[in-house]
């Protein structure tokens, strides 16, 4: 897998300093702790976790919007923060992001044409207006905004949420990317529209051979979009379990993953009413400013081993082939 990897995270950590006033105490808030991850070319990796677990930060680190506090992020084997200008430009073009909120991801003062043509002009993909128009129409067509002529000179506010998200997707495609981070790309959309956006992403992935990091809080969507890929489950800034999607869903190993799967309400009365949720030791999520020592899930975990889980941080163990878990229950297995 290493040689095919398009993106690798090598012991990446990210902290923010939180200050209160001029003399207030500075506190280190570790959002990502020692994250190592490798995403193969053409793969779909679903990053799943609750809000505030650090999954959006991971996405921003990968697209180079923020710098890691420590560790390296490699694109095609090169550390993005020690690239030369030429290499960094190529990386910028190759790695794109689709945001969650289609209402804030499009600049309200620009028409769709301007939004989509700016990167084309900037990177010399078109030379004049008629070329740009042609290319923009083609992009709109590709994201099923048809007929594209109806959309090209509209402002974002004249479109519905689903249509805006399609424009945002079209924008991410302008530079023929190799890798796209989709950060909760459907969670703000109406239920009946979500699936069509997911289908669009799936189609683009096939047509353009794009690698996807699909960030979501919705395990069902992850399962649906990433069945052929892998799922990584994140909790308080760390990946606690990672493996091929079918195995993580059908045979979850980490207590947190298990708790999630047992807790998720499902749109099927029989299925959902027959669930027996896991009894957690505590309902409260620890604050990132005040993380518990040892495994961060230990204060809530029913399988917690006193003296071990609250003292040491577990490594990644591989009890099954390609299926990793960071939990002492699997040490030595």
Partner 1 sequence: MTREILNIENLFVEYSNIRGKVKAVRGVNLKLYKGENLALIGESGSGKTTLGTAIIRLLPSSGYIKDGRIVYKGNGNEYDISKFSEKELRQFRWKEIAMVFQSALNSFNPVLKVWDQIYDTARAHGISNRNFVKERAISLLRYVQLDPERVINSYPHELSGGMRQRVLIAMSLLLEPKILILDEPTTALDILTQRNIIELLRTIKADMGLSMIFISHDLSLAAELADRVAVMYAGAIVELGSVEDIFYRPKHPYTLGLIKAVPTVTAGFRELYSIPGSPPDLINLTPGCKFAPRCEYKNSVCEKDEPMLVEVGQDHFVACFRHKEIGNGR
Partner 2 sequence: MSRVKKILSNYIFLRAVRAILTVFIVATLTFFIIRLMPGNPIEIYIGQLMSQYGMSFQDAKNQAAALFSIDLNAPLSKQYVIYMRNLLRGDFGVSFLSQGTPVALMISAYLPWTIFSVGISILISFTLGITLGMLAAYKRGSIFDHIMSTIAAILSAIPNYLIGILLLIIIGVQLGLIPVSAMRGTVSPGIKPGFTWIFIKDIFSRALLPIMTYVVSTIGGWTLSMKSSTLNTLGEDYVTVAKARGLPESRITFAYVGRNALLPLFTSLTMQMGFLMGGSALIESIFVYKGIGWALGASIAQRDYPVMQAVFLIITIAVIVANFIADLLYSKLDPRIKIGGE
Partner 3 sequence: MKSREIVKRIFWEPLVIISRDKAGLIGFIFLLSILLLSFVGPYFVKLDTEVKLDKIYQFPSREHILGTDNQGRDIFSQIVNGGRDVIIVAFLAGLISTLIAVSLGSLSAYAGGFTDTVIMFITEIILTIPQFPLLAVLAAFVRLTNPTMLAFIIGFLGWPALARAIRSQVLSIKERDYIEAARVLDLGRMHIIFSEILPNMLSYIVISLIMAMTGAVYSQVGLIILGLVPFYGHNWGLMIQLAWTRGAIFYKGSIFYILSPIIAIVLFQWSAVTFTRSLEGIFNPRLRAGE
Residues that bind partner 3 (CB under 8 A): 22, 60, 63-65, 89, 92-93, 95-97, 99-101, 104-110, 118-119, 122-123, 155, 157-158, 168, 171-172, 174-175
Q: CB-wise, 176 or 287, nearer to partner 2?
A: 287
- Rounded to a whole number of angstroms, the minimum distance from the CB of residue 30 to partner 3 is 20
Shortest distance (Å) from residue 38 CB to partner 3: 21
Separation CA 150–CA 192 (nearest Å): 23
Contacting residue, 108, 124, 265, 332, with partner 1 by CB under 8 A = 265
Partner from partner 2, partner 1, partner 3, none binding residue 158, C-beta < 5-8 Å depending on class = partner 3
Site pattern 271..310 for partner 1 (x: CB under 8 A): xxx-x-x--x--xxx-------------------------
The enclosing H or E element of 173 equals helix 161-173
Cβ–Cβ under 8 Å, residues 221 and 194 = yes
Positions touching partner 2 (CB under 8 A) are 20-25, 289
| Residue 96 CB, nearest approach to partner 3 (Å) | 6
- Residue 223 interacts with which of partner 2, partner 3, partner 1, none, CB < 5 to 8 Å by class: partner 1
316 touches 325 (CB < 8 A): yes
Q: Residue 38: beta bridge partners?
A: 8
Rounded (to 5) percent helix, strand, coil in the chain: 35, 25, 40
Q: Half-sphere exposure (CA, 13 Å, Cβ side) for 236? A: 21
Please answer whether residues 69 and 13 qualify as being in contact, where contact means their C-beta atoms are separated by less than 8 angstroms: yes
150 in contact with partner 1 (CB under 8 A): no
Tell me how far, at minimum, the Cβ of 16 lies from partner 2, in Å. Answer: 15
| CA 94 distance to own-chain centroid | 16
Q: In the bound complex, what is the minimum distance in angstroms from residue 22's beta carbon to partner 2?
A: 7
DSSP-assigned letter for residue 294: S
- The residues near 128 (Cβ < 8 Å, ≥ 6 apart) are none
Closest alpha carbon to 13 in 71, 79, 59, 67: 71
| Smallest distance, partner 1 to C-beta of residue 210, A | 21
The footprint of partner 1 on residues 44-103 (CB under 8 A) is 50-51
Any residues with CB less than 8 A from the CB of 85 and at least 6 apart, and which? Answer: none
Return residues touching partner 1 (CB under 8 A).
50-51, 160, 162-163, 190-196, 199, 217, 219-221, 223-224, 227, 249, 259-269, 271-273, 275, 277, 280, 283-285
């Amino acid at each position: 897998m290493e040689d095919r990897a398009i993106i690798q995270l090598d012991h990446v950590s990210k902290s923010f300093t939180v200050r209160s006033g001029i003399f207030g105490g500075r506190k280190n808030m570790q959002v990502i702790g020692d994250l190592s991850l490798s995403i193969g070319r053409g793969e779909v990796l679903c990053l799943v976790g609750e809000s505030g677990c650090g999954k959006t930060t991971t996405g921003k680190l990968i697209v180079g919007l923020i710098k890691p506090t420590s560790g390296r992020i490699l694109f095609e084997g090169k550390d993005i923060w020690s690239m030369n200008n030429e290499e960094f430009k190529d990386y910028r073009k190759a790695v794109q992001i689709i945001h969650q909120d289609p209402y804030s991801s499009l600049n309200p003062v620009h028409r769709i044409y301007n939004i989509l043509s700016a990167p084309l002009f900037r990177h010399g993909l078109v030379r004049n207006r008629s070329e740009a128009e042609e290319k923009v129409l083609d992009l709109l067509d590709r994201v099923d905004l048809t007929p594209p002529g109806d959309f090209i000179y509209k402002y974002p506010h004249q479109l519905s949420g689903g249509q805006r998200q399609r424009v945002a997707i079209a924008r991410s495609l302008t530079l023929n990317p190799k890798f796209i981070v989709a950060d909760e790309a459907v969670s703000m959309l109406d239920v009946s529209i979500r699936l069509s956006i997911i289908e669009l992403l799936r189609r683009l992935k096939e047509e353009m051979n794009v690698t996807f990091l699909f960030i979501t809080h919705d395990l069902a969507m992850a399962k649906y979009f990433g069945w052929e890929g892998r799922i990584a489950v994140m909790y308080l800034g760390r990946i606690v379990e990672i493996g091929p999607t079918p195995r993580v869903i059908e045979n979850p190993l980490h207590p947190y993953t298990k708790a999630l799967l047992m807790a998720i309400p499902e749109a099927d009365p029989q299925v959902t009413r027959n669930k027996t949720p896991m009894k957690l030791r505590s309902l409260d999520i620890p604050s990132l400013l005040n993380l518990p020592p040892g495994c961060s899930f230990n204060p809530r975990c029913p399988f917690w081993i006193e003296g071990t889980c609250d003292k040491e941080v577990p490594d990644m163990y591989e009890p099954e082939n390609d299926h990793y878990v960071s939990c002492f229950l699997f040490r030595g297995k």
